Amino acid sequence: MPTGLLERKEILDDSATLAISEVVNVWDAALGLPSEDFRSVMVGSIPVITDPYAAGASSLGAAWYNETAPNLPYRAVPSALPARERLLTSAEWAMGASGSDALSRLAGIVQKAIWDSNRRTIFDNSKAERGAKYERVAGGKCCAFCAMLCTRGAVYLKSTAGFQAHDNCRCGAQEVRPGKSFSRPSHYERFDEAYIQASKNATGTDAILAEMRTILGSS
């Protein structure tokens, strides 16, 4: 039986929690170092901590993809790990804050990298498999940006650069294999209604998004 959406989310959340706990452990151990050494240790630790969890999330994405249509010939493969330079640059930015704010930023970077690895694998394989698409999966209390993207349904556009996700985004990517369909959660009806109303009140993506924030009462 394919791994359910809720179970997927729980697994990714657990992976991110474990990775973040490692970041906290490094932080606590390095607190006594001079400021520049402390910064260097924290920045350098992010790719080292993130990579194994990101690899696992990517492998799970491929396994979940294959589970949904095991009789089809296409076999999904994990996507590449997050670029090391990008992780280091993000960690440098995080350490520009002070105290708990810096640690919170580092945690957000790790969480996003792990989830992105899973989402990227599903997105990339949906792109590679002829006739496949993907659906954005969001909870009922997601932000207006994610709600707006959910209204697009199961799509894959050649012009789409990838799965759009903000910091701390916990939306998932659900593969829709050839001949299969996606059962949209009931709360998507609220997203659709908000988008229709917002489109009547405003023109352009930014203006529609602002209207959706008001209608949905979300960020």
pLDDT digits (tens, 9 = 90+) for 12-68: 999 999 999 999 999 999 999 999 999 999 999 999 999 999 999 999 999 999 999
Mean residue pLDDT across the chain: 90
- The length of the chain in residues reads 219
User: Please, are residues 8 and 175 in contact by the beta-carbon 8 Å criterion?
Assistant: no
Q: How far apart are CA 141 and CA 131, in angstroms?
A: 31
pLDDT score of 162 more than 70: no
The predicted model scores a pTM of 0.88
Structure-token match 């590679």, residue found: 128
Q: Which residues contact 100 (CB under 8 A, 6 or more apart)?
A: none
Statement: residue 116 has pLDDT above 60: yes
Model confidence at 11, pLDDT cuts 50, 70, 90, reads very high
Distance CA 123, CA 116 (A): 10
* Extents of the domains making up the chain: 5-216
Is the pLDDT at 219 greater than 80, yes or no?
no
* Range in 92-96, 118-122, 140-144 the model is least confident about: 140-144
Q: Tell me which H or E stretch contains 138.
A: none
Q: Are residues 61 and 118 in contact, defined by beta-carbon separation less than 8 angstroms?
A: yes
d(CA 67, CA 205): 35
What confidence tier does 161 reach under pLDDT thresholds 50, 70, 90? low
Q: Give backbone dihedrals phi and psi of 133, rounded to 5 degrees, phi first.
A: -140, -175
Question: Would you place residue 195 in the very low, low, confident or very high pLDDT band (cuts 50, 70, 90)?
Answer: confident
Percentage of the chain beyond pLDDT 90 is 59
Alpha-carbon gap, residue 206 to 209, rounded angstroms: 5
Buried b / exposed e over 68-84, threshold 16 CB at 10 Å, is bbeeeeeebebbebbee
